[in-house]
Each structure stands twice: as structure tokens, then as C-alpha cells.
Structure 1
């Protein structure tokens, strides 16, 4: 068995509805959170510490991953499967927030859009099984996708991971197993 750590990005410089919301970087608090997450990951025992770093392609995740990658002396690898939940193409940025709020209060099978969101969430959990020994920097909904799949829950939200919360999984012959949820916080997601 090997450990896999899924880390929510740090606090972004803007949120839904802001002009820069499409791909914001981190604000000052988010940069401090990224440094603290890197410290926490480096403090893990050597056999449990991730040796590779994977990130969503979005800037806030890449910027959160970079301090840990720098400490390890490795490059941040990008995988779009761990990006944000795909928003229906027909929605404007202003419509995205209300759509997400509706999705967050329901079940995966009820999410309306351009794809099968229940299959999307199972795909995230399945893909994670290939990343034992990695730190994967991702998003609120993608982390919930993995967690709800492993917990057998149909609701979109199983918990509210704080910025830079570290959720721990194990990867073994039987696949992916949830070990520990990261810290929760009140968040502006809903």
C-alpha cells in the first residue's frame, strides 16, 4: 500500500462572478496556505511522504503545488482530469455560480449539463488509483467526487474541505481507500 494525498488549492485571489474568476491565482493568504501545506507534507515520515506532484491545470492549483514541488526538487505534473467540475458550455460566467450551487445541494445523478456527472466523479476516483505516492492538488468538487465515490454516497458533497486541506487515501491491490478527510471549514462555495 502507498499513500496518496489530495490537497485542495489555497485561497484564490477571486471567486465566482469576478472578472478574473476564470483562472485566478492565489491571494496572499492562499500563498501562505500553500507554504503551510508544503511544510505539512514534508513533515510526513519518509516512507509516507509523496515523491511526485500532480496538479489540476488551473493556476490556483499549480501555485499551491509549487512550494511542495520546490521542496522535493521535482516538477509539477499537470493532469486535466483533476480540474474543476466541467460546467455546461452554454452557461455564462454569471450563470456558473447558481448552477454550481444547485449541483452542490443535490445528487450526482441529478446534475444537469453536458456530461454524465456521476460517471465523471467515478472517473476521478478510478484515476486516483494510479497515483499512489503522489500529492495531487485539486479542487473542492473533485475531492468530493473521490470521497463520495469511496463512501458510496450519492450526494455531491460529503464534506467541505478547507483551503489546502489534505485528504489522505491509500492505494493498494484492492484499489483506492479513504484514510482521512482533510480539515473542514466554512467556505464560500455555497
Structure 2
């Protein structure tokens, strides 16, 4: 069975300024493009990449294009890979949000659901992200890898659900830095609806891929199936 690499998009000016992006369509900056090229170099020769998928938002699509250029693979978009929507908070800094919605911001920082400002529910994000990844993995040949370029919150919630954990409540998966990535394989052999396991998490752009045929085979063993 194949493996999956989840890549967060490269740096944007909103990242530099500490603004919540959500589904605002912000392009990468020059640093982001350089980060994305590093990911492409890191994957070349170290992973048998089958296809590259991306969120249609510009920062993710641009990242995927940089990776695809290095690997000679076209990029395909799936709207289920979009970032979590943060509604009225998008484009604002944490300070601006806390000043305008102090109680809701405290609830959000405390891990509680926030209503009335258009923030997408955590489990809703996880469900659509996992559905996209399962469709992608169903088309990924054994011993090959599919690359998905998406966003910080969407990836974190997706990983949580793909490990068999409750996306609405579990907070134990750390977020990815810009153009960092998580690499996963299936924890057990079987149809691509089962749980996955993390091979590596938050890998920097220039670090070579850890997934490959040997890793995929280990995922079939009892030791490899432990979460």
C-alpha cells in the first residue's frame, strides 16, 4: 500500500505579519517559493511520487507547482483540502481578534468551539480533509507516494482523524511550520479506509523523504502498526 506526504504551504506575508489566513487567497512571498523548491529537491530521488494534489488556494497551489516542477509532475486541485475557514477573523492578527471578540477568543484559545463569527467546526474540516486523502490513497499504487499540499489547521485536524483520534477534542498533534511536512503510511494492511501511522512529523523543507518501499513494508508488521 502507498504512503502519503502532507506539506504545509510556503511562507506568505500574512505569516510574517501573524495574520490568520483561513481561506483568504494570499500568494507566497519569495521565501515561500524558496522553501517550496527545497521540498521538491528533498523529495526528488527519495520518494516515488505518484501524484501531487493541492488546495486550490494560491499559496498551496504555488507550493505544489514548485514541487511538481522539480519532480516533473502536474498538480491537481481538490477543494476538500482548503484551509479551515475562520470567518470574520480572517486577515486579522491575534491581538486584533482578542480586542474585538475577547470572550470568543478566550474560548478558542482554550480549545472550545466558537460560534457566531463563521469559524468552521474542527470535525467538519477533518471529515472533508480525510475524505480527500482517502480518495487520493485509493488511487496510489503500492510502494508509491502521493503528495498533498494544504494548510496548517487543515493538515493538523486531518492527521488527528487519520490516526483514529477525535479531531474535535484531541489537541496532541503539533502544527507544521511553513513548507514542513508529515509523512504517513497505513498502520495495517487493508483497504484505504483504516488508520494511518506517522513515519515523520514536521520535517524541514530540505530533509530527504523518510517514506519509501522499506517504510511501506514495515507498516505491515505488528511493530509498524503501533500508534
TM-score by length of 2: 0.65
Structure with higher Rg: it is 2
Contact 2:129–2:158 (Cα < 8 Å) also in 1: yes
Contact 2:153–2:175 (Cα < 8 Å) also in 1: no
Give unpaired runs (5+ residues) of structure 1. 185-190
What's the CA shift string for 1:86-130, capped at 9, x where partnerless? 233x567448973896676344x7243465431331332233122
Contact 2:177–2:202 (Cα < 8 Å) also in 1: yes
Displacement of 1:26: 1.4
- 2:113 is matched with which residue? 110
Count of aligned pairs between the two proteins: 177
Displacement of 1:156: 5.0
Superposed CA RMSD in Å reads 3.1
Contact 2:9–2:63 (Cα < 8 Å) also in 1: yes
Matches within 5 A, 1:48-63: 49-63=48-62
Q: Measure the CA separation in 1 of the matches of 2:90 and 2:71.
A: 39
Q: After alignment, is 6-15 or 154-163 more displaced? A: 154-163
Matches within 5 A, 1:71-82: 71-82=70-81
Give unpaired runs (5+ residues) of structure 2. 99-103, 138-144, 205-227
Displacement of 1:170: 1.7
Contact 2:3–2:146 (Cα < 8 Å) also in 1: yes
Q: Measure the CA separation in 1 of the matches of 2:160 and 2:74.
A: 30
Displacement of 1:5: 0.5
TM-score by length of 1: 0.76
Matches within 5 A, 1:1-190: 1-15=1-15, 17=19, 22-45=24-47, 49-88=48-87, 93-94=91-92, 98=97, 105-107=109-111, 110-112=113-115, 113=118, 116-132=121-137, 133-149=145-161, 150=163, 152-153=165-166, 154-155=169-170, 158-171=173-186, 172-173=190-191, 175-179=194-198, 180-183=200-203
Displacement of 1:11: 0.7
| Secondary structure at the counterpart of residue 134 of structure 1 | strand
